[in-house]
Structure 1
């Protein structure tokens, strides 16, 4: 898939913000797993692996393995093992640049205090943007959550870390309470759990089939209640 291509061709299938995030993430890695310092060639190789993994995860219905990623990147398994010991480690490396795009995709919408009279509109805009992020990266995020549900400690930690910025911003919308020290944090956590679960449902095609959600059913059936719950939680906390 990538053999013989120029340095930038392995990003051809990726949106520009994600391609830039991959380059940034790889630029932060100084050595491979053998302790060898990475030069330009080593960073490009790592970028090829991540780009191939992202494309396979987001475009293929077949199970993604290190061997498939190596073939897609036109690399041998030895090259892949120079950077990643197993599939979980590769998935975590893929998640880093994906989550780096979250700020522009939805976290920026929670910055600054929302006016009371715009509260529902702001909540809905956030929930819709969060859903859009999940829809764009659905298979990767579902793979992460499935591994976390299977008690994969590394994926559990990643799932928790990725939710903390949202919870912290919601707490700030509720009031001045420091994160982690009071009822606002508990409420923000519960609201976010509910929103993530509903977004998980509407972006999982197989799960939609199992629970009988028709393909043409609007996501708003779940997103609007999620936005309402967020609105009620924030307005109730502000009234205290």
Structure 2
């Protein structure tokens, strides 16, 4: 996460992610003109989302824009603007079903307390699962993060809301107090989550890998194992501090 996003995460780590605003819920049953979506309207919205996913799955050098999506969906721009105000709003709609799979993909791995004897195995399993989630949704997640790094407020909030459940579960794994978001254990969770995101960003960035001239699967494995080791040590260290009462 960016420095600004890290700060926002620290400020909101003790809170549950906010529920979807009522205006956003309304867009699922109405278009932006307030017209209720019948079957044709829902089909059109689905076509727009499908076209966006098709472009995301295509060549990386093809620019993703509202006009490109409209062409892919065989729609005019006016029709597209009936459903989405801008590219951010469209991408957030595409992200919604993707993030709905996060629980099964990697978040759920943290919900059962990891025993001390197998912390290393559990840590590696989480890092590997998170990396796999990024591999599957790489271009979309990279695009979200680039937009967040460019100070797109809505993408920053999405990025943070996606990280918060993992950070809170990390705090619980470290025997931390969730009611104290300004505590050192929350800072450790923020650092661990930031490192995890950066590692998968590097290991799934095809442009960066091509710039290095030789994508190195072994190098990626070493990086993932290194991140897993840091996660293991962080959890183990804070468990010891909690047990000692410090």
Q: TM-score, normalised by structure 2?
A: 0.82
Alpha-carbon distance in 1 for matches of 2:45, 2:117: 48
Measure the CA separation in 1 of the matches of 2:40 and 2:142. Answer: 32
Q: Please name the residue that 1:150 is paired with.
A: 150
Change (3 A) 1:26 1:76: farther
Aligned partner of 1:42 in structure 2 is: 41
Q: Which whole-Å deviations, capped at 9, do the CAs of 1:16-67 have from their partners, x for residues lacking one?
A: xxxxxxxxx9998121110111123222221221121012112232101112
Inter-partner Cα distance in structure 2 for 1:163 and 1:73: 32
- Find the counterpart in structure 1 of residue 93 from structure 2: 93
Larger CA deviation: 92-101 vs 128-137? 92-101
- Which residue pairs with 1:78 in the alignment? 78
Task: Show the 5 A alignment for 1:113-192.
Answer: 113-178=113-178, 180-192=181-193
Counterpart for residue 107 of structure 1:
107
- CA 1:213–1:162 in 2, change beyond 3 Å: closer, same or farther? farther
Q: Which has the higher contact order (CA 8 A, sep 6+)?
A: 2
Separation in 1, partners of 2:216, 2:153: 36
**Structure 1 length-normalised TM:** 0.84
CA contact (8 A) 1:148 1:155 kept: yes
* Other-structure match for 1:54: 53
CA-atom RMSD, angstroms? 1.8
Is structure 2 residue 232 aligned with structure 1 residue 217? no
Is there any run of 5+ residues in structure 1 with no aligned partner, and where?
1-24
Q: Which 5+ residue runs of structure 2 have no aligned equivalent?
A: 1-23, 242-246
Over 4 Å off, 4+ runs: 25-28
